[in-house]
Chain A
Amino acid sequence: MDVPTSTTLESPAPGLGSRPPSTGAALPPAQPGAVQVDSGPPPAEPPLAEPPPAEPLVDRYHRSTGRTADRIFRLATGACALSVAALILVAVLYLVHGSVPAFRANGLGAILSPVWDPTNQKYGALSFLFGTAYTSLIGMAIALPLGVLTAVALVEILPKALSQAISLAVELLAAIPSVLLGLWGIFVLVPLVRTVEIAIYKSPLGLKKLPIFAGPPLGVGYLSAGVLLAIMALPFILSVTREVILQVPSAQREAAYALGATRWQAIRRFILPYSWKGIFGAGLLGLARVLGETMAVTMVIGNTPQIKASLFASGYTLASVIANEFTEAPSDLAISALISLGLILLLVSILLNGAARIMLLRLSRSHGTPQEVK
């Protein structure tokens, strides 16, 4: 990296070099061309009024060593670092504290009941757990294969310029706020999904009899939410998988081709197997991301607390119920129950993220190259 030309030091040292520091006998700066004779006393220098103070760490161009300023700076920035790191613990503590009333009233197991009826003090979250899991599953089932295949296309098949353009297009997708994707979801995706669902419903093959396609084709529901989640997870999976595939050493590729592999054989038999662990880590990270996704899902899932196997059915997720019902909770106990749902989301995300990051770290260490996941 080039040395930045604009680096300046805060307290410039005026005259540095114009007059040598008087820390004892010192030779004056040599005149160009002059012959240095090293014996004999130095030429006469104007004598100082008083001997220089005997403080070896002080020179006349800085007021102090900056020791105390150093200490303060270190403390201040260290406090920042500590507070950021402590945030996780603080979050857990506060949410546990907020959930305690709900747990005390209904016991821990009540969470697993399928009945959610806050007005009658029923706080079973099973339908939300199911909804979160089901939509995330659909989302990952779409995003993972799509992401991996796209990454293969970008790294191994397409020319560099096109591959960079496509990467950019997908990266920009990640910058779209969830609520805006939800907006698009309501007015574009849901009608589209509804058309597909109606086609399946009317299909002469009798597909509507299958449990996975059962129920009226409303458009809103698990499928729409799953598709939006896939769109949100895709940039993540794509970027990590790309990195992982790029990391496959060229020696491996050469060995495969030299043995007479076609391009697809090299990809499928040698490059992808090398990358599975990294792809798995990417999948975990993507999953952690979609589990807590709130706005887009809330706008297209139908918000019905039920458990159904059909893609067409409406559902509810942990994040959505918190979003919808928190401000209208009928009692403090209901609020506490919602906070406990948030606690579940918090703990699951910490676990998944932690596990995925550790896995990716171990992977990059074993391959000998440090790998950063943004």
Chain B
Amino acid sequence: MLACADLTIEFNRKAVLKGVSLQFPPRKISAIIGPSGCGKSTLLRSFNRMHDLTKGARVIGSVTLDGREIYNTSEDPVLIRRRIGMVFQKANPFPTLSIYENTIAGLRLAGVTSTPVLKEAAEKALVDAALWDEVKDRLKSSPMTLSGGQQQRLCIARALAVDPEVLLMDEPCSALDPIATSKIEELMFRLRERLIVVIVTHNMQQAARASDRTAFLWMGELIEAGETEAIFTSPKKTMTEDYITGRFG
């Protein structure tokens, strides 16, 4: 279970996220929705300590994975990032590496050198990402020969190869066409069985059809969170209803 409690994030003293408390239970897909600039990506990135790389960023509050604190701990953020994987808005495969090398990149970074182990992990990850059949004959070729949707699935495979407990997805389909999008949503459903999936999306239809739980953020604050069906059919707050019905954002 991934959770955050009273999370506040500041960039150069300016609060971008204020006092957010959420829980992301296992075997569920959780969506974070809200208008542009509401802080959803900021929230997501705090879960794998990506803000450590940003100058002037301050994270106050707690984020826990299975009860153990992610911040304020002696544990190296590098190790945390191996347990919490991330997929980005625009697919970013490493252009200097082949498809195979991309998939196992995370394992190599972790120090795995045994070739049979790597090969097996690569195949498993690519199968899980629904990409194996399409690339199994050209594992050595450049990822830049793949389509946008395929590249994104490659990035998902890359993230899965290190066997994380959580997969964070930051608007993974926003640069993709509907067919590619539905492929990714399909694989999200399968992944749900094994890990916690948290997806940030500005596409409400996607949130409604693809997630089990939804959290609505606005201007850095959590407005409402709960079962997706409840949020979309009978939201408790008027602001939520206004956003969902398209009255703003």
Question: Hey, which bits of chain A sit against chain B, CB under 8 A?
Answer: 249, 251-262, 265, 269-270, 273-274
Q: Are A260 and B162 in contact (CB under 8 A)?
A: yes
Closest to A277 in B: B96
Q: Are B106 and A259 in contact (CB under 8 A)?
A: yes
Closest to A265 in B: B109
Chain A residues whose CB sits within 8 angstroms of the CB of B162 once the complex forms? 259-260
Partner of A254, one of B50, B105, B106: B50
Q: Are A252 and B82 in contact (CB under 8 A)?
A: no
Majority secondary structure of chain A interface residues (helix, strand, loop or mixed): helix
Chain B residues whose CB sits within 8 angstroms of the CB of A265 once the complex forms? 109
Can you list 29 residue pairs at the A/B interface with Cβ under 8 Å?
Answer: A251-B88, A252-B92, A252-B94, A254-B53, A254-B88, A255-B92, A255-B93, A255-B94, A255-B155, A257-B81, A258-B85, A258-B86, A258-B88, A258-B159, A259-B85, A259-B106, A259-B159, A260-B79, A260-B81, A260-B82, A260-B106, A261-B78, A262-B109, A265-B109, A269-B108, A269-B109, A270-B94, A270-B96, A274-B96
CA distance A252 to B105 in the complex (A): 13
Closest to A252 in B: B92
CA distance A293 to B79 in the complex (A): 50
CA distance A252 to B95 in the complex (A): 9
Nearest-Cβ distance from residue A365 to partner chain B, whole angstroms = 15
Chain A residues whose CB sits within 8 angstroms of the CB of B159 once the complex forms? 258-259
Binary CB contact string for chain B from 38 to 72 against chain A (1 if under 8 A, 0 otherwise): 00000000001010010000000000000000000
Chain B residues whose CB sits within 8 angstroms of the CB of A253 once the complex forms? 53
Within 8 A of A (CB), among B73-110: 78-79, 81-82, 85-86, 88, 90, 92-96, 105-106, 108-110
Q: Are B82 and A255 in contact (CB under 8 A)?
A: no
CA distance A252 to B158 in the complex (A): 13
Q: Are A257 and B50 in contact (CB under 8 A)?
A: yes
Within 8 A of A (CB), among B126-162: 155, 158-159, 162
Closest to A262 in B: B78
Nearest-Cβ distance from residue A305 to partner chain B, whole angstroms = 45
CA distance A67 to B53 in the complex (A): 59
CA distance A280 to B93 in the complex (A): 23
Q: Are A251 and B92 in contact (CB under 8 A)?
A: yes
Known: A251-B88, A252-B94, A265-B109. A259 touches B50 (CB 8 A): no
Chain A residues whose CB sits within 8 angstroms of the CB of B53 once the complex forms? 253-254, 257
Chain B residues whose CB sits within 8 angstroms of the CB of A274 once the complex forms? 95-96
